[in-house]
Structures are given as C-alpha cells and as structure tokens.
Chains A and B, each alone.
Chain A
Amino acid sequence: MIPQDPQERDAVAGEYVLGVLDDEQATEIRNALATDRELRAAVTFWENKLHPLSALATPANPPAEIWDAVEARISPPARTPRPSVAPWRWTTGAFAAIAAALLLYVAVTPREPLQSAAPMVAVLQSSQTQSAGWVAVLGPGGLRLSKLTRQAPPQAHAYELWGIAPHTTRPVPLGVIPASGEMRLAELPQGVGAGATLAISIEPPGGSPTGHPTGPVVYTGVLRAT
C-alpha cells in the first residue's frame, strides 16, 4: 500500500531512496512510480535533496576496461555508422548484446572454479514483436540473464523465468526475475542446458503459485553453444 497521507508518503519515498525498504516494499514503490505522480515527485525530492551526501564517498578511477565493456554492450560489433537510434535499437543490436554479454561474463564474473563447459547463449525474443528482449549466458559460473528491452511487466506483476529441457514440454520454474532485470542462477535443473528453451511469463509478484506458468509467455529463446 502506498500511503495517501502526504507525510507518510514522503517518509516512505525517503526510505525508498535511502534503500532501507525490504524487497517487497521497494518493488511496490518502483511499480507505482510509473503511474503515481505524487509519489514520483516525492522520490525526486529525496534524490535531489540527499544527493550532496554522495560527496562523502571519495571518487576513484575505475578499471580502464569498464568503458570497453559498456561500449561493447551498446554498439553493434562492426561499429558501422548507424542511423539515429530508435527504441528498437536492441533488435538490431542483438548480436552485439550476445558478444557483450559474453565479454561481460568473462570480464567481471568473479572467478569461480572453471569447468570445461563452453558458454551457451540464448536470446529471448518477444512473442509479439520478435525483437530481442533478454539475453541469457550459461557459463561455468551458472546462468546470467540480462534485460535488453525497456518493457516492464504490467503493474503488480512480475516476470518469471522457465526452462524447458529439449524434447520435453513441461516448463521448470527457474525463479522470479528481479525488477532490475538482472538475474543469476548458480546452477540449472537437470536437462536445462544445450537446446533447452528459456521462457519468460507474466506472473503474480511472488511468482506462479502453481509451479506452472499461469500468465502469458512473452519471451522465448533456445540455449545454444557459441
């Protein structure tokens, strides 16, 4: 419940900006921001008023390779000149996204014991527009799912990730995708590997109550070796 009392609303917006709300409350606020103008104004107030406090953190030079990784994730690999960017830039940027996701994986994943398995990638496409919405990379450290689309689940809903092993039809729940659009799974269930389908459905905030997708499947893609 987003408080209607102005003082309560201001306080909860401040707690949201500070980052002290629990996940459930924070998700509720984040979802309400799109439609609640007063709440948005309250959050903006705190972001701006508390911002000077960030000067208490000492600036530091980040590692040089970070920019390269950012650039790889936002640009097509050929670096050819593009027309001015439209909202569908990620459709054509899907391959860049794959390359970038791999690069990211190699560059910043904390080093874990290496297994011999080669990385696999799935690009999950929108069931409606066929545009690339998500990219999943399965490597030695597990599965990493990253959001490419700006699309968010409908209000008071969440996206849930499913895996469907090859030659089977039963989706196995892999978890509710955080609102940040980033998810990591240390390991996948048996059978969810090469050739498996990954799918994203729209579910209640805590995920499907039944263990099966209850809402529409909005993105799908197949895990393939690179």
Chain B
Amino acid sequence: MEQPASLSSPDVLVEAVARGSERALKRLYALESPRLYGIALRIVRRPEVAAEVLQETFVQIWQNAGSFAPERGAAAAWLTGIVRFRALDALRRHSRETLSGDSALGDLAVEPDVLAKLDADADAAALRRCLEQLEENQRRSVVLAFVEGFSHADIAKRLSAPLGTVKSWVRRGLIALKGCLSP
C-alpha cells in the first residue's frame, strides 16, 4: 500500500496516536526512537537506564498524545520534552554516578565550535545565532543543562564556578535568548 509522505511526519503520527492507533505509535517509534534514545543516553549515560527511559517515554506518548495540541508547536519538540523530563527523573532516582568518573562528561559544551554541529534548518540557525550572541559562560551553561541534563551544581563543578554565579549565567542567558529569539 502506498504511504503518503506526510505519514512519516511526527506531527501526523502523534495525531493518529491520539486517536488510539497503535500502528501510528509503532511508526513513530521506528521514526523517532534512535533520536530520542540518543537524547536519553546523553543524559543518563547508562544504556539500561536509557532503555527504561525510552520505554516510559513511549508509554507516556501513548497516554498523553490526546493532550498534545498543534499550537504547542512541532510534535518532535514535544517528544524531546517528554524524553528529557523522563531522563532527568531517572537521573534523580539513580544518581549520576558517572559524573565523577567520566572526565569527558560535558566536554562537548565547552568545545569552541559546538554550535556548528546544529542542523542547518531555519530554527536551528536562529538558535545558533542567538546562542552565539551570549556571553561564553552563559552559552555553555545553557548547553550543558539542555544537552547533558546538568543541574546548576553539575555545571558549577564542570565550569569551576560558584553555584550562585552559575544560576545567574543560566537565568541571564535565558533572558537574553528570549529577547533574541522572539519575533
């Protein structure tokens, strides 16, 4: 059977999942699970925990798809939000035992050309442009929190800065980003 191209879009699939289609969930899994698993793995580090996070994520997608409204933006961003929250929850339960042991943890965010790895589409380009306008430590703090799931304390340790300073880097970074990203 011919499948229209739109059937492979997360937006269309989430809508079908909301109507109770298991097939749509399976297609969504096939389409999005490597990306979402990668996000989870990045945050929790342990494959068995990331696997649990991914499973919980798709059960939650199944249960909550009906509450996803298109005015919430792209379905892919909604999915990212779910897997990140699930991963952060798992991190709290399991404690980040790797943090002290893995000296490379968080290196990505402090690489000078990290933002060059972002996609080339318009949304990513806008975010990149705005992130590049931030003060370096503000940018690193935001990236560490989002990509690695770092807490304020994790960031403070990684960047060897006082906790209060880090909190202000994150907050001021967000306020500057908001100004830059708003239409």
A-to-B contact residues, CB < 8 Å: 7, 10-11, 14-15, 17-20, 23, 44-63, 66-67, 69-71, 73-75, 84-87, 89, 104, 108, 110, 150, 178, 180, 182, 184
- Whole-angstrom distance from the CB of A76 to the nearest CB of chain B? 11
A63 adjacent to B39 (CB under 8 Å): no
A50 adjacent to B38 (CB under 8 Å): no
A51 adjacent to B114 (CB under 8 Å): no
Roughly how many angstroms separate A20 CA and B93 CA in the complex, as a whole number?
Answer: 16
A18 adjacent to B145 (CB under 8 Å): yes
Roughly how many angstroms separate A75 CA and B92 CA in the complex, as a whole number?
Answer: 29
Kindly count the residue-residue contacts between A and B in the assembled complex, taking CB atoms under 8 Å apart.
Answer: 167
Write the chain A residue with the least CB distance to B127: A52
B13 CB contacts on chain A under 8 angstroms:
none
Given contacts A53-B127, A70-B58, contact A15 B170 (CB under 8 A): yes
A48 adjacent to B118 (CB under 8 Å): no
Roughly how many angstroms separate A51 CA and B76 CA in the complex, as a whole number?
Answer: 8
Given contacts A7-B175, A108-B52, contact A47 B35 (CB under 8 A): no
- Whole-angstrom distance from the CB of B20 to the nearest CB of chain A? 3
Roughly how many angstroms separate A190 CA and B29 CA in the complex, as a whole number?
Answer: 42
Given contacts A48-B73, A57-B39, A108-B52, contact A74 B22 (CB under 8 A): yes
B53-85, CB < 8 A from A: 54-56, 58-59, 62-64, 66, 71-74, 76-78, 80-81, 84-85
B150 CB contacts on chain A under 8 angstroms:
20
B52 CB contacts on chain A under 8 angstroms:
108
Roughly how many angstroms separate A56 CA and B35 CA in the complex, as a whole number?
Answer: 10
Interface size on B, residues (CB 8 A): 73
B20 adjacent to A85 (CB under 8 Å): yes
A60 adjacent to B127 (CB under 8 Å): no
A62 CB contacts on chain B under 8 angstroms:
33-34, 37, 50-51, 54
A49 adjacent to B127 (CB under 8 Å): yes
- Point out the residue from B20, B64, B124, B142 that lies within 8 Å of A55, measured CB to CB: B124
B29 adjacent to A61 (CB under 8 Å): no
A71 adjacent to B22 (CB under 8 Å): yes
- Whole-angstrom distance from the CB of B75 to the nearest CB of chain A? 11
Q: Does B108 contact A (CB under 8 A)?
A: yes
B62 adjacent to A74 (CB under 8 Å): yes
B171 adjacent to A59 (CB under 8 Å): no
Write the chain B residue with the least CB distance to A57: B42
A50 adjacent to B118 (CB under 8 Å): no
B101-120, CB < 8 A from A: 108, 114, 117-119
